[in-house]
Structure 1
Amino acid sequence: MALRLLKVPTLATAVFASSGFYLFNRRLDFNDLSLIRFGRAAATTAVISYDYLTAFKYVEYGTEEYWALKSKVHQRSAERLRDLCCSNRGTFIKVGQHLGALDYLLPEEYTSTLKVLHSQAPQSSMEEIEQVIREELGKELPELFAFFDETPQGAASLAQVHKAVLHDGRTVAVKVQHPKVQRQSSKDILVMEVLLRGVRWLFPDFAFMWLVEEAKKNMPLELDFLNEGHNSEMISKKLSHLTFLKVPAIHWDLSTKRVLTMEFAEGGQVNDREYMKEHDINVNEISEKLGKMYSEMIFIHGFVHCDPHPGNVLVRKGQNSNQTEIVLLDHGLYQTLSKSTSQKTHNWEPRTTECTVPSANWTQPACTLKTAFINKTKHMIRGCSCRLRMTNVQLPSAAQLAFRGFPQSQIHLGRKKTNPYASECLAIQSYMRQHI
């Protein structure tokens, strides 16, 4: 009996030691364990929920003290959410980035805090990158590329991009998916759904369950790089007449679901004013071209690029001309609009002109509408690119307006929540409806 009892701890020690050796060889990161990731997310959700439930107990609603306290609760909750995204990475960072772009829905404390996730995406090690390329393309790096820069050009929530040179001398960008994202994404989305349902039970007015539905629908598309390649070729073909737009060509022989090899494109981010100043790029020209490009996507083709953050929109001077160019990257997610949504886009005809509503003193225009789309059957005008030059618009009794002859014309100049000059827009809209 004593001998048998001695064998038990000996066996346990052997099992423990062999397990430890196995985990060491696999280089297991505890952040990859579903239990750890779920526990971290659940704890953060519980703390944030408790904060909102208890913080306002002794403060009268609507007072200055109430609003000041609410801002503080928003801020510390946003910081907790940011830390969770940075710890769990992958899908969590992707959703956090999406939340950071919802300026028109979320409090400023959330959007300003979560915006940093665009520059804090995790990086995979070179060993991990080589492993993914080996699994997907079946060859080692030296067999595929004459040069492969180990320092990534950029890292995102789902992948990172490396500059490389093919054996024929062409420079390419190689987008490689983080090795663990594919495996973790479905579990992470399930965790988010469970926790958000709990939040909605606590706070019936919580209206963000749609985030989970969007993630369920979009994440598989974004994790399929072949889908991204096909999207890029489709938008390049649809907008081929826009000579200022550059979409990198895909190298299909070096592309799979987890590796995408494309033409390398240089440029500065669209929000980098210093780069544009240094390279003599006109900011207003870029704004007008962006307006025209996205207007055609929405009103003409009903096929819209859905991730236009600054890292995916580059600007540069043309290599063979002095024309200002826009480089559009990351085509993983597009929205196809229905005919009703895109206003039966086949009836919309683009027309670039200048439609001016004068200001009260007639010294400069209050609003200049650079691009419009004319509906050929309903005689409607939809403004696509406008800029207001005065903060206070007092409309005169008469104005010289372009596009005469459209008695039922409508001008759409922006939504109240997203346009700082919404009241001026509404005044101009009303005026133009009466006088065109």
Structure 2
Amino acid sequence: MAKKPVTSRRGRFLKLAGMTASVAGQYAGQRARKVFRKDDDEAARSQNYTRMADQIADTLGELKGAVMKVGQIASQTQDFLPKEFSDALQRLQKEAPPMPFSVIQRQIESELGQPISQLFEYLQEKPYAAASIGQVHRARLHDGTDVIVKVQYPGVDESCDSDLKQLRMALKLGGLLKMPKETVDQLFGEIRERLKEELDYLNEANNLKLFRKFHDKDEWVLIPGVIDSHSTKRVLTLELVEGDHINEVTQDRYDQDTINLIGHRIFRTMADQLFKFQCIHGDPHAGNFAYRPDGTIIMYDFGCVKKLKPEIVEAYRNVLVSALDEDYQAVDRYLIDLGARVKSQPAVDAAYYAMWRDILIVPFDQPEPYDFAESDLHTHVASKTSTVFKYLDYFKPPVESIFIDRMIAGHYWILKRLGVQAAFRSDLEQYLAPAGESADTVP
């Protein structure tokens, strides 16, 4: 028998509180057992982590909303979490369990003020897609226009703050937040701000219109149009624009040249948004993009958009240019401008910057195409994360650029899953060139 969906604020609190207590108890038990053993039982630890991870993933998937969104963000860290947690949270990216149609119907009729039959020629009961804060249903307007209707789950917006507090406590008591409190505060603060924007579908409608203008000359980028008459703060109706999910981009329909072309176009959209528009699509997971065999890229879900300050974009550009030039004194200065380096601390050892530069430069440091399918860049990054503790007091979370890093990491995983083979150095240098020089020669 299907569980009744938890939509009340009190119900969500109790569900998360129960998860927190269980996870904290398991973690405490694990630590106690370790004290009384001479050797660390790796198998027992892994089993315990798996139980904790499954419980967290199942609870976040059931409750949806802010906590599920944070789980999705955490899943994108891949090797930076214990494998058991990364594997469990990956489920939140692939498929969210849908809400009953009766709940969705009530939400639509409450928001739009009319019965479903008056609003649409038909509305499919089976979800077209289900996500963290809402689900999508295919429909047709009475004028014959095929659309998708994005419906926010009841209670999600009212519960955002309490949900985040509970999740943060669960991760802390489960021994998973091994970061300074200030870092955690700023990270959750930025996530909360973006979530508040994402929970306002009228804000997303404005973002869609803005990004359609940004990319109006890119014939190979498709972004659905908004149906304003059927959209409110919690219901968003868009033109139906279909393409292939990343799992459907297979060799029998997409040859390697087309995949490489798509890779270059992904790079261009990302770089244009960062350096040209200074406004980025902040939720770059695979489900928010689709493709067509002619090389077209379709972009969905513009709830999470980060508008960047010009000085932050300039500082980011300067850091990249200095790193490419191996000018580590300049890297140090520009990281202070970016808000990533504590100004009062002495300069960081150039060898530390050189180590990270040598890892991250690999896809851009060779004339021949880099094979993202075979890339192990993420494992090299993960192997060096322990070195961060040596300079923990020298750096701070760059709040203004957190979503830039998330965008780049998300696109890395998309390029890897697509199997793109491309040399991006010349593309990158066009965007890092002095103002006035164009990047329009990118395919």
With normalisation by structure 1, the TM-score equals 0.66
- Residue 31 (structure 1) shift: 7.2
Q: Give, as a single letter, the amino acid of the residue that structure 1 aligns with 2:54.
A: E
Q: Could you report, residue by residue, the CA deviation over 1:395-434 in whole angstroms, capped at 9, with x for unpaired residues?
A: xxxxxxxxxxxxxxxxxxx99xx89x9xxxxxx99xx9xx
1:260 equivalent to 2:228? Answer no
Q: Could you report, residue by residue, the CA deviation over 1:153-212 in whole angstroms, capped at 9, with x for unpaired residues?
A: 101111111111111111111111112322332321232345556668996768645453
CA spacing shift, 1:250–1:47, aligned 2, 3 Å: same
Task: Give the whole-Å Cα distance in 2 for the aligned partners of 1:99 and 1:151.
Answer: 28
1:164 equivalent to 2:131? Answer no
Q: Give, as a single letter, the amino acid of the residue that structure 2 aligns with 1:167.
A: H
CA spacing shift, 1:186–1:345, aligned 2, 3 Å: closer
Who is 2:346 aligned against?
none
- With 324-333 and 77-86 compared, the bigger mean Cα shift is at 77-86
Who is 1:142 aligned against?
117
- Residue 286 (structure 1) shift: 1.5
Who is 2:304 aligned against?
333
Greater share of helix? 2
Task: Give the whole-Å Cα distance in 1 for the aligned partners of 2:137 and 2:220.
Answer: 25
For the residue of structure 2 that corresponds to 1:56, the secondary structure is: helix
Length, aligned pairs only: 334
- Residue 125 (structure 1) shift: 1.9
- Residue 103 (structure 1) shift: 2.0
CA spacing shift, 1:199–1:277, aligned 2, 3 Å: same
Task: Give the whole-Å Cα distance in 2 for the aligned partners of 1:341 and 1:286.
Answer: 28
Task: Give the whole-Å Cα distance in 2 for the aligned partners of 1:111 and 1:269.
Answer: 22
Q: Could you report, residue by residue, the CA deviation over 1:333-386 in whole angstroms, capped at 9, with x for unpaired residues?
A: 012222233226999xxxxxxxxxxxxxxxxx983478xxxxxxxxxxxxxxx5
For 1:355-366, what aligned pairs fall within 5 Å after superposition? none
- Residue 314 (structure 1) shift: 0.2
- Residue 134 (structure 1) shift: 1.1
Who is 2:361 aligned against?
none
- Residue 57 (structure 1) shift: 2.4
Task: Give the whole-Å Cα distance in 2 for the aligned partners of 1:391 and 1:228.
Answer: 34
- For the aligned residue pairs, the C-alpha RMSD in angstroms reads 3.9
- Residue 75 (structure 1) shift: 3.4
Q: Contact (CA 8 Å) 2:24, 2:173: kept in 1 or not?
A: no
Who is 1:239 aligned against?
215
Task: Give the whole-Å Cα distance in 2 for the aligned partners of 1:88 and 1:227.
Answer: 23
For the residue of structure 2 that corresponds to 1:182, the secondary structure is: coil
Q: Give, as a single letter, the amino acid of the residue that structure 2 aligns with 1:135.
A: S
Who is 1:214 aligned against?
190
> In the alignment, which of 84, 104, 117 is matched to residue 59 of structure 2?
84
CA spacing shift, 1:369–1:60, aligned 2, 3 Å: farther
Who is 2:272 aligned against?
296
For 1:91-106, what aligned pairs fall within 5 Å after superposition? 91-103=66-78, 105-106=80-81
Extract unaligned runs of 5+ from structure 2: 319-363, 377-407, 417-424, 430-443
> In the alignment, which of 159, 167, 185 is matched to residue 184 of structure 1?
159
For the residue of structure 1 that corresponds to 2:158, the secondary structure is: helix
Task: Give the whole-Å Cα distance in 1 for the aligned partners of 2:212 and 2:230.
Answer: 20
1:342 equivalent to 2:313? Answer yes
Structure possessing the higher relative contact order (Cα contacts under 8 Å, 6 or more residues apart): 2
- With 41-50 and 195-204 compared, the bigger mean Cα shift is at 195-204
Greater share of strand? 1
Task: Give the whole-Å Cα distance in 1 for the aligned partners of 2:295 and 2:316.
Answer: 28
Q: Give, as a single letter, the amino acid of the residue that structure 2 aligns with 1:243.
A: E
- Residue 110 (structure 1) shift: 1.9
Q: Contact (CA 8 Å) 1:93, 1:121: kept in 2 or not?
A: no
Task: Give the whole-Å Cα distance in 2 for the aligned partners of 1:283 and 1:96.
Answer: 29
Q: Give, as a single letter, the amino acid of the residue that structure 2 aligns with 1:144.
A: L
- Residue 390 (structure 1) shift: 9.6
Q: Give, as a single letter, the amino acid of the residue that structure 2 aligns with 1:212.
A: F
With normalisation by structure 2, the TM-score equals 0.65
For 1:53-132, what aligned pairs fall within 5 Å after superposition? 53-57=31-35, 71-103=46-78, 105-132=80-107
Q: Give, as a single letter, the amino acid of the residue that structure 1 aligns with 2:151.
A: V
Who is 1:151 aligned against?
126
Q: Contact (CA 8 Å) 2:13, 2:163: kept in 1 or not?
A: no
For the residue of structure 1 that corresponds to 2:225, the secondary structure is: coil
- Residue 296 (structure 1) shift: 1.1
For the residue of structure 2 that corresponds to 1:81, the secondary structure is: helix
- Residue 139 (structure 1) shift: 0.8
Q: Give, as a single letter, the amino acid of the residue that structure 2 aligns with 1:287.
A: G
Who is 1:46 aligned against?
24
Who is 1:367 aligned against?
366
CA spacing shift, 1:334–1:31, aligned 2, 3 Å: closer
Who is 1:283 aligned against?
259
Who is 2:420 aligned against?
none
Task: Give the whole-Å Cα distance in 2 for the aligned partners of 1:235 and 1:331.
Answer: 9
For 1:413-424, what aligned pairs fall within 5 Å after superposition? none
Task: Give the whole-Å Cα distance in 2 for the aligned partners of 1:83 and 1:50.
Answer: 21
Q: Give, as a single letter, the amino acid of the residue that structure 2 aligns with 1:340.
A: E
Q: Contact (CA 8 Å) 2:171, 2:177: kept in 1 or not?
A: no
CA spacing shift, 1:115–1:197, aligned 2, 3 Å: closer
> In the alignment, which of 272, 288, 292 is matched to residue 316 of structure 1?
292
Q: Contact (CA 8 Å) 2:259, 2:295: kept in 1 or not?
A: no
Q: Could you report, residue by residue, the CA deviation over 1:210-236 in whole angstroms, capped at 9, with x for unpaired residues?
A: 453233212211110111111111112
Q: Percent identity?
A: 26
